[in-house]
Each structure stands twice: as C-alpha cells, then as structure tokens.
Structure 1
Amino acid sequence: MISGLGRRVISGISRLGHATFFLARLMPALGAALARIRLIVQQLYMTGVLTLVIVVVSGAFVGMILALQGYNTLVRYDAQSSLGLLVALSLTRELGPVLTALLFAGRAGSALTAEIGLMKATEQLAGMEMMAVDPLSRVVAPRFWAGWIAVPLLAMIFSAVGVMGAYIVAVGDLGLDGGVFWSQMQSGVSVPNDIMGGLVKSVVFGFVVSWIAVFEGYDAKPTSEGVSRATTRTVVSSSLAILGLDFIMTAFMLRGL
C-alpha cells in the first residue's frame, strides 16, 4: 500500500514536471499567437460564448439559493438587512470565481482536451509539423489564450447574475426593501479587496485550467481510449487545482499579503 502510494506521488511529480516543461515550450508560441487575433476570437466564441448559458443559469440559481439560505440565518439575529452584503461578498470573493472555473473545466476544458487529442489521434498535428507549421502556435496557443480570457469574463457575469437572482428572491419573495439591499451591498463591498480579489482568483484559475486542458490534449495517447482518459484527467486535475489554489490565495488575501 505504501509503495503504491509512493509510486503515485512520484508519478504525479513527474507529470507536473512534464506539464511545466510543456508550458515553457508554449510561452514563445503565446506571443506569436497574438498575431492571429482571428483564431483567438474564434476560440473565445467556442470556449466562452458557448459556456455562457450554463454560467448564467447556474449563477442565477446560486444567487437565489444564497438569498434563501442567508435570509434564514440572518433573520434569527434580526440582521436580514445585511442580506445583500452577504450575497455580494460570497459571490465576488469565492463562489463566482470558483464555481465559474469548475463549470468552465467541465464544459470547455474537457472540450479543449478532446479537440486537441483528436487532432493528435488523427495525425493532424503531425501533418502540420511536416508542413513546417508549429502546432503549438497554430492550434494550442489560441485555445490557451481563449480559455485564459474567458474565465474572468464569465466569473464577472456569474457574480452579476447571482446578485440579480438574489435581489429578485429577496425583494419579490422574502419582502426585503430593495433600496436597503443595494445600499448595504454598495457600502460593504470593497472594490480593491473584494472585487479585485475575486478577479485575481479567476485570472489564476483561467490560466491553470487552460494550461491543464491543452497539456492533457497535446500529451494524450493517439487512441480513442487515450483521448477519453485525457479528458477525464483534465476535469479531475482542474477541479483539484482550483480548490487547492483557492485555499492558498484566500489564506494570503485574508492575511493582507
């Protein structure tokens, strides 16, 4: 059992080193990909716009659930007027960036891995290399940029829709005053600490999820089973990385570092 655990740890460290080496190779291609804005915009549509529906629907329901749960807790202490502040802080600091990144990893990250893995399995990437076309700058880099850009934008939309969903429930169902809801939120939410902190998290999550997705696709075995395993690894690894990084960044932010 111990030897098996040790092998898994060593394998994980080795794979992390492999992914880091891949990222070092990708960095020059990221600069070259900026000359192909059309490809980045096209991939931004595929990864961002097509993920928008699930983000909006999820954000609305999360906001409404927060309103119901938060009101049920705050009313016990006669502090229901702070519901708007509770919802806004929960969404901007934590739930917006984290849930958006998890949704993106499941919807777009897995699609990126499957697409690149399929191109490798059908030898399209090898064909590009034979024609002296770098697949990293032509295929991988635009998808990486698109994922990195999409996650922060989707996180902001998630938080905004969540606040609106909470407002509808708070005012329409729970009977709170709409003016109090907004005034408490505006007076308690700090742009530098809360909103920017959540934005920094979403930028980091976007980078990591995009990195994992393109690496797993590029490194997948050129078989249907290999692509399937790579897609699964993308979702699992991205989810664990998001939650782990969220804890680390939250700890640093709360300590003012």
Structure 2
Amino acid sequence: MRNLWILLQRHAFLLAFTALMGLSFSVLVRHDGSARSSWFAATGGLSASVEEQRRQWSDYLQLAERNSALAEQNAALRSTLLSMELQGQWTEDHRAGWRSRPGLLVKSPDGIPSTMALARPGRLDSVRIGDGVLTSGVAFGTVVDVGDHYTRILPLLNAAGTWSCRIGRDGAVAPLQWDGRDPDTFQMTDVPRYAEARQGDTIYTSGYDLRFPEGIPVGRILTARQGAGSDFQTVEVTPLLDFTSARHLEFLSPMNATERDALAQPLDLP
C-alpha cells in the first residue's frame, strides 16, 4: 500500500492532467454539437475502415479456398479429357486401305540426332510396329516399339530414319533424311538430274516404304543443287511440322496388314 501511495505521489501531476483532459473532452462533446458530430464522424470513419479491412481479409481467405477448389476441378477435368482422347477407336477408310486412331504425344523430339518420341496408346489398343504417325495431317514418324500402354516412335527428326518421298504429286521419288544438324532442313538425296525441283514445291510421302499412304505432306523445297559431273541432285526440304511442339497424333495402320507384309517379303526362289 505504501508503494502504491508513493507511485501516486510521484505521478500525481500526470494523473491529474489526464483526468482533467478527459473531463474537459467529455464536457466538450456533451455540450458542443459540432464537436460531438466530429467525434462521431471520426469514430464512424475508423469503424468503417476497420470493417473494410476485415471484409478484404475475409474475401482473400475465401478466394484462396475457391482457387484451391478450382485447381482440383481443373485437374479432374484434365484427367477426364485425357481419358476421352485415348478412348478413340480405329476408323477405317476402305477406299484408301488404311485405318486410323487418335493418340497423344508424351515425349516430343528434342532436336538431338538420335531422339525418339514417346506416345500413347500401345499394344492393348492394337498399335503395332511399322504403323505410320501423323500430326495435323503431316507425316511425323513411324512406330518402332510398343508396350502395353505406350509406343516408341522414330520421328522424321532423327538422323537414323530414311523415308520414301515424292516431289509434288507425280514427280520423282527419292529418299529423304535428316543429317542431324539443322532441325529446319531435311535432305532428299539421289534425286535424278532431270527431275524438276522448284523452290516452294511440296514434298509428299510416296507410300513405297509401307509406312504411310501416298500423298501425306512432309515439307517444301528450299533449294536444289547438283554436284559437278553427277547424275543426281540434292534437294533441301523445310519440314511443315514443328516436331518439338507436336501434341495430338494420328496412328495409321494398313488394312489387311498381315497379308500385305507377307507378300512384301523377298521371294525365295529355288
């Protein structure tokens, strides 16, 4: 008690000043209308500011919850869409003698000379080695290995591949390759010297290598050059396809493939 009394004595002036200020403010607000209005306006503005801040925090927390729910819904929709894309059936074209079905690229070529592509579906959906692969109607590659659910594809953008192609719809037929250097330039070699190869002409598959039907677009002629004293010319081709950004595929399989492949084997003569 003694200590409390000493404390009050020590701060008596401050306590008296605070009490008198509070009393003066109370009398001022009670008897002065303008002061009372200013007080209520100030306290009202402060209350409104606090309420607005509380509402913003509430909206932010609710927005985070909504974003989380939307992310879960988007993931579910992507999974459903992927399943729908891979549930396609083979479509037969009896006139052309080929059948097709949709697929999805899992790993695209990366521009390395030995690069391979990985796609779905696989053996369980009747994809077989030797099937041709398109994307956006342009030649992409051929199936070289199949698992139950996945497929390995040799793309045109691979230095190990050779493809039978034709200049224009009815021009000369020659092998097309990639030399592993510029991914924007393929090479057609052994093109006969007499063959017309004009810049801008379209290169199509010939169908002779049994990977694609004839007439699938591949690229356009960039340049044609003939070696000194040679009967052949080399044609540089710009591909129509950006292999690194491909996504949706179309698998092509010949109808009556077993019969065709058997008759295509070399004949053993006695």
* TM interval, short-chain normalised: under 0.3
Please identify the structure whose Cα radius of gyration is greater.
Answer: 2
| TM-score, structure 2 normalization | 0.21
Give the structure with the larger helix fraction.
Answer: 1
Give the structure with the larger strand fraction.
Answer: 2
User: Which of the pair has the greater relative contact order for Cα pairs under 8 Å at 6+ separation?
Assistant: 1
| TM-score, structure 1 normalization | 0.21
